[in-house]
Structure 1
Amino acid sequence: MAVLGAGPRGAGLLERIVANYDADDTGQLVVHLIDPHPPGAGRIWRDAQSGLLKLNSLAADVTMFTDKTSTIEGPVREGPSLVEWAQLATRGALPGYDLDTEAPQLAAEIRALGPASFPTRRLQSRYLGWFFEQAADAAPEGLTVLVHTAQVTGVTTLENGSQRVELDTGDGLTVDVVVYALGHSGTRVHEGTRTAELSDFAARHELAYVPPSFTADADFSAVRAGEPVIVRGLGLAAVDLLVLLTEGRGGAFVRSPDEGRLTYLPSGREPRILVGSRRGVPYHSKVTSVLQGEPFETRYFTPDIAREVVARHDILDFRAHFWPLLAKEMLHGYYRELFTGHPERVRISWVEFRAELDRFGAQSPELHDAVIAALVDPSDELDIATFDHPLRGATATDVGSVSASLHAYIREDLRRRNRQEHSESQGLFLALLFSYMTFVEFQDAPNWSPASLAGDVRVWWKGFFSYVASGPPGHRLDELLALSEAGVVHFLGGDLRVWEDEETGSFRARGSTLEREVSARALIDAWLPDSDVAHTDNDALRQLLASGEGRERVAVTPEGSLATGVIEVRRADSRIVRADGTAHPRRFAVGPYTSNPFVGAFSRPRTNAVSFRENDAVALSTLRLVGDISRENQDREQHDHAAEHHHRRPVRQALGGLARQS
């Protein structure tokens, strides 16, 4: 078997293959894992990147191991979460890992890591590498694990059904089964896109343009010190970018001992960063509080309710059929914690308020009146529309006024997301997280409106979830304030629009918040590349489509069709669907570029993670397939041997007769 990709997904798949392997059923098996980057970490989490870059997940919220909540057919094999791994390493109780051999800075970070810490990507790289080694070392007799440091360029099917995997080293592997576990891939710039137009304009006028990319892979060397650069985006990629252009260029953050105020000391090598986005505000900071009221449970958007919605409508529309339920579940999670965890801040009981929540729509005037009547402080109301667009309707004539508004917004966000007295934010986060995990199971339903799937589901809903639940660590927003106060970062507000000025040979930008234009010779689109397998920069995926051995999923309803940008796989076992609509007999695929549900983050402990379930199902399917192929080969060899034996006997007899005759 060949697993194309040895990053977190490939490593997780290997762990499930090892856990489910039975030599009696499968026979002798060699698993080839192929990746140009270190196994376990892969490209995104490799050690060879800036030590300033971090996860946006708490150390307690990351695990690579199944647990008792995992509804899987194979055996559960529990292991340490990231923070537990660090604690074991600190005590010297981690099998196969010696903390004393680490670089001093990384060793110190591991020793100091707590449940609410945001680890660096380099630390996460160690955890993932250790996990991979443990999975490989656990392989029983009969199962061999081999790692190839190479890039896969393509896979072809041989006459006997075997798969030939070609590598960029010039070598090749002949295997029986292939699993694509390639992780995130980029997108090639191609004609007809806005990215191509901006790239062409930058080339003609000798400007600097950085298209959507993975931050650790991007080249920002053309962005000059002291010169303005327009940055579109205020999500995680933008936060990483700001780190690399400031602290990464020699600047330093200093916290005063008396006030606790953070100050940025520029190095002089930073550009002048002009940043804006659609909302105009950064993603909400990651929540670090914990629930202190009743445990969270879903009420308005459960799997059964979602299944009923899908069955009830011929054509699904996200805004009409799902969003009212999702919004109500968010309010339920938020107010449940506010009423049960902080009863001093409300006027009635949770049971009484829940009855009002049951009666009225999530964004109805009636619910608004009921909320205001029930709260001691009206500012505790969760208005989802304002929450989604906090700058809507705001205008300013200068950058300084916009920045002042943003400073106040960010400080309030930090107060509500990182203090225990506002643990209702944790209730909101959990409601949104579990709703997202439920919804993703129905995202590939066959009756979606293509327009709603393309705009509402793939763009708005995904972006809203990231904005609320997948933001940066709180200290990154504290640093953003310091950068703005130091005059390095300037906010442009919301609805940011960028265009090319041929006359001046520069990029220009303006949003709805700031009533004037800005210009610069550098532009950075600070978001990750969209999933688009038709224009992927991954050779193996391009060859898969070109050969017809795989195809892009197209959503088709009476309203029309939509190319989804992902490889189509069979839901039950992740088998790749070929161009003719049949399931490939020998190839499977898992990850963000496939049509199967993808949550998009590391698995949280005790949440029955989607990736664990898919990995286990694929491991079992591939092992059974390998066993079937092995038995078929044995039967064929026995048949061939018998046929050869049967054919040779009369020849020998004839020769014997001739001998006797002579």
Structure 2
Amino acid sequence: MGSTDTSTEAPVPFRVVVVGAGPRGVSIVERIAAGGLGGDAPEIEIHLVDPAPAGAGEVWRTDQSRELNMNTYAGAVTLFTEQTTEAVLPVVAGPTLLEWADLVVEHLAPPRLGDEHASRLRSIDPAVRATFAERPPSAALVAPGGFLDELAAVELDSHASRALYGAYLEWALDRATAALPSASSVHVHRARAVGIEPAGHVDVVELDDGARLVADAVVLAQGWLPSAPSPADAALRDRARGSGAVWIEPASPIDQPVERVPDGVDVLVRGLGMGFFDTVTLLTVGRGGRHELGTDGASVYVPSGREPRFHAASGRGLPFRAKSRYGSLPPAGGHERLRAVVPRLHGTVDFVRDLRPALRRDALDAYYATLHRTNPAAFTAPLEVVLGIVESRADDLDELDRALRDVVPDAADRFDPVAATTLPAGRFASSDALHDEIVARLRADLVEAERGHDSPIKVGLWSLASARAAVSRVAAFDGLDAEDAAGPLHEFMQIGNLAGSGPPAQRIRELLALVDAGLVTFVGPRPIVDIDEATGRFVMSSPDVEAEPVTAPVLIDAWVRPHDVRTTRDELLRRLVEDGRARPFARVSGLGGRVPTSAVDVDPVTSRIVHGDGTTDERIRLIGVPLATSRRDTLISPMPGTRATMLVETDAVAADLLAQARAQRSVRSRSTNASTSASSRSAE
């Protein structure tokens, strides 16, 4: 009897298409690699799709101006899981941005090491060193035009350039790719994904360069996505069209065409957060101006003559508060009441009843303990008495203030986080009055930022700001109802963002220098913008300031428009919604029913998208920014020593991908064995 060939073809790898090759895309690769430790790893073929450079992505690309900084401390950002992450997959120790910078200098430029480097290098965990050594970075990092000077100058609480963080991300991707099991691979596509079409048991991802990628699973990790303008902005755009006025619409500052702003003109600016500081930097220092140190230690701006004159406003009318200079990482610990309350909360909770009392008392305790340590003369009673009043009276702020008057007599010494982050109520009598108020606040905030751990107001506000992640975990999905999410939670997050997501203190110094040079003025809160079609100039005013409207031929929106899946301009996501394969997340309402939100609806654990009919997709997951109003806390870079939402998210998705890959391998193996057995019986 003749023999029969029963050999089979090589197994088909499990194909994963990751749309978005920035931090989350990198983390997905790193987590898949971690999941392959210890053997039994399925063969996975990963395709990273992004028109921007893989690793850095669009926001952190390494070719951007080195003048643009992170608003995160170099020692307080990482891309690696820790025990605090509560990861499903194995934890792989890896360096923070600061540790990576020190290790790069040690590896590539040891002559630049100083005593401070040596001290920090001695404290790096051997496991972190081993991860770094798996894939040492290229010498190009420290070549002329590279990052050597910045790498050597990075400190624990310094603010690295965005470009340097991009280099860190590119190294992390290179290292994660090398750590994958030998049968797995990563393929990069510098293109934009524009559609996903089902094809039986797989999907076909369509790219704008015409390529089509077959996928067993897709992860959407695109980051910031474009949305349609608000009705008011759409009407303004229509009226401005053909007027000759220049409108730089909302986007990341490195993507905004600021070169369209003529030299020396007046410019209206909406937004006083990080986008504002970046835009101002690009149009001042980026145009040849420079900041010098004055004789009094303040920053002095030396103009080039090319910079515009900025007239700035925002919803609250105040620039974000400066990051403190701690000389260390921000204060950890605290939140005793919040940590005690959170484990007891289940289902949909009430923010005012269940969360606000703990948040308020924790912040008040932190403030008054710091005030007592640094200025005991502010008290007429022992600290314990003050803290007792806080404990018993903090539910009613007016009653609390009356009770504290006898023990902390000076109103300026009593903690009021709303007043610290909001302009005084009422109407300012003039633009000069507004100007004086804001400048005085900026100068006072700089003093407090330099005090670091010894600033009561900074410590109290940081207690609120640093509670955002824990509150977000409680509020995620249906943790709070729609009314709480839009009301007290929104107000809490606004205060936390203004207090905790501000710029480096140096940016406030530079802003004050520009104010002194007559290049920045403030318009006020709740700005109203229109266009004078006769003159072709934008017009801005504030209902809270008694002043003539300000006009200018240029309007810059110094913020990124929040993404809304209902009005998305992203072609891929729009098509998924139109096809019924994705839908908005609807939050439970205390009034009954559900209220649609701007977020994409996903399974809270696996991040698989939810179809229009409520069923869960078998192959597509979505993570990150488009879940800002459902999962929450999706905009903040991972901090070491915390349960970082981004890493929890990517770890869970990678674990789900690996489980799917193993299940598919098992099915294919059984199918192959059955086919082989049938062939053998036939041959007999």
1:308 aligns with 2:345: yes
What's the TM-score, normalizing by structure 2? 0.87
Deviation at 1:417, TM superposition (A): 2.1
Give the equivalent residue in structure 2 for 1:589. Answer: 622
* Equivalent in the alignment of 1:659: none
Contact 1:302 1:435 in 2 (8 A): no
Is the contact between residue 453 and residue 459 of structure 2 (CA under 8 Å) also seen in structure 1?
Answer: no
The equivalent residue for 1:157 is 198
User: Contact conserved, 2:226 with 2:570, CA < 8 A, in 1?
Assistant: yes
- 1:114 maps to what in 2? 155
Partner of 1:517: 549
For structure 1, which segment, 123-132 or 606-615, has the greater mean C-alpha deviation from structure 2 after superposition?
Answer: 606-615
The correspondence for 2:369, drawn from 328, 336, 348, is 336
- Aligned-partner Cα distance in 1 for 2:284–2:330: 41
What's the secondary structure of 2:531's corresponding residue?
strand
Say yes or no: does 1:298 pair with 2:335: yes
**1:186 and 2:186 correspond:** no
Give distance in 2, aligned partners of 1:292 and 1:88: 19
State how 1:213-612 maps to structure 2 within 5 Å: 213-256=251-294, 258-289=295-326, 296-302=333-339, 304-305=341-342, 308=345, 316=350, 318=351, 322-339=355-372, 343=376, 346-361=379-394, 364-375=397-408, 378-393=411-426, 395-397=428-430, 399-420=431-452, 422-446=454-478, 448-454=480-486, 456-457=488-489, 459-511=490-542, 512-557=544-589, 558-594=591-627, 595-612=630-647
Does the 8 Å CA contact 1:293/1:340 hold for their aligned counterparts?
no
Once the two structures are TM-superposed, the CA of residue 303 in structure 1 deviates from its matched residue by 6.8
The equivalent residue for 1:660 is none
Residue 97 of structure 2: aligned partner? 82
Given that 1:246 and 1:270 are in contact with CA atoms closer than 8 Å, whether structure 2 keeps it comes out as: yes
Letter in 2 for 1:353: V
Q: In the alignment, does 2:677 pair up with 1:617?
A: no
Distance 1:541 1:568 in 2: 12
Task: Tell me, in whole angstroms, the C-alpha distance in 2 between the residues paired with 1:419 and 1:271.
Answer: 33
CA contact (8 A) 2:582 2:612 kept: yes
Cα shift at 1:66: 1.6
Distance 2:233 2:583 in 1: 25
The structure-2 alpha-carbon separation of the partners of 1:141 and 1:292, relative to structure 1 and needing over 3 Å to count, comes to closer
Output the amino acid matched with 1:631: S
Q: TM-score, normalised by structure 1?
A: 0.89
> 1:53 deviation in Å?
0.9
Name the structure 1 match of 2:217: 177
Shift of 1:521: 2.2
In structure 1, stretches of 5+ residues that fail to align are 654-662
1: CA distance between counterparts of 2:673 and 2:223? 41
**2:360–2:394 Cα contact (<8 Å) kept:** no
Give the 3-state SS of the residue equivalent to 1:204 in structure 2.
Answer: coil
Q: Aligned letter for 2:418? A: A
Query: Letter of the aligned partner of 1:240 in structure 2?
Result: D
**What is the SS of the residue equivalent to 1:57?**
coil
Check 1:295–1:54 CA distance in 2 against 1; reply closer, same or farther (3 A cut). Answer: closer
Q: Any conservation in 2 of the 1:552–1:564 contact (CA below 8 Å)? A: yes
Alpha-carbon spacing, 1:331–1:99, altered in 2? closer, same or farther (3 Å): farther
What is the CA deviation profile of residues 293-344 of structure 1, one whole-angstrom value per residue up to 9, with x for unaligned ones? Answer: 9963213333744853855x6xx5x556644543333323322333356656
User: Could you list the per-position Cα deviations for residues 432-482 of structure 1 after superposition, in whole angstroms to 9, with x for gaps in the alignment?
Assistant: 24421111113234374434434554x544332211110011111111111
Write out per-residue CA displacement over residues 173-200 of structure 1, whole angstroms, 9 at most, x where no aligned residue: 21211111111222244xx612211211
Alignment of 1:24-39 (within 5 A): 25-39=40-54
**Equivalent residues of 2:269, 2:556 under 8 A apart:** yes
Q: Identify if the C-alpha distance between structure 1 residues 564 and 461 changes in structure 2 by more than 3 Å, giving closer, same or farther.
A: farther
Q: Which moved more, 1:597-606 or 1:502-511?
A: 502-511
Q: Secondary structure at the match of 1:530?
A: coil
Structure 1 residues 84-163: aligned runs within 5 Å:
84-92=99-107, 95=133, 96-97=136-137, 98=139, 101-104=142-145, 106-159=147-200, 161-163=201-203
1:637 CA drift (Å): 3.1
Residues of 2 paired with 1:400 and 1:228: CA distance? Answer: 18
Deviates more, 1:580-589 or 1:550-559: 550-559
Contact in 1 for aligned 2:474/2:480 (Cα 8 Å): no
Q: Which runs of 5+ in 2 are unaligned?
A: 1-15, 109-131
1:544 is displaced (CA, Å) by: 2.1
The amino acid of 1:402's aligned partner reads: L
Give the residue type in structure 2 aligned to 1:506. R
Residue correspondences, number: 639
For 1:552 and 1:331, the matched residues in 2 are separated by 38
Alpha-carbon distance change, 550 to 495 in structure 1, aligned in 2, over 3 angstroms: closer
CA contact (8 A) 1:3 1:31 kept: yes
Q: Indicate conservation of the 8 Å contact 1:208/1:223, yes or no.
A: yes
Pair 1:460–1:429, CA change in 2 (3 A): closer
Mark the CA change 1:252 to 1:294 in structure 2 (over 3 Å): closer, same or farther.
closer
CA deviation after TM superposition for structure 1 residue 243, in Å: 0.9
Q: Residues 398-426 of structure 1: CA distance to partner in whole angstroms, max 9, x if unpaired?
A: x4443233221100011112224733345
RMSD: 2.7
User: 2:206: which partner in 1?
Assistant: 166
Matched residue type, 1:180: L
- Secondary structure at the counterpart of residue 48 of structure 1: coil
Alignment-derived partner of residue 235 in structure 2: 197
Give 1:632's aligned amino acid: V
Identical residues among aligned pairs (%): 30
Give, in whole Å, the separation in 2 of the partners of 1:580 and 1:280.
43
C-alpha contact 2:482 2:587 (8 A) present in aligned 1? yes
CA distance in 1, matches of 2:206, 2:329: 55
How far off its partner does 1:430 sit?
Answer: 4.1
* Farther off after superposition, 116-125 or 503-512: 503-512
Counterpart pick for 2:76 among 55, 61, 84: 61
CA distance in 2, matches of 1:460, 1:524: 26
Q: CA deviation at 1:121?
A: 0.8
Matched, 1:42 2:54: no
In the alignment, what sits opposite 2:67?
A: 52
The 1:624/1:340 distance shift into structure 2, 3 A limit, reads farther
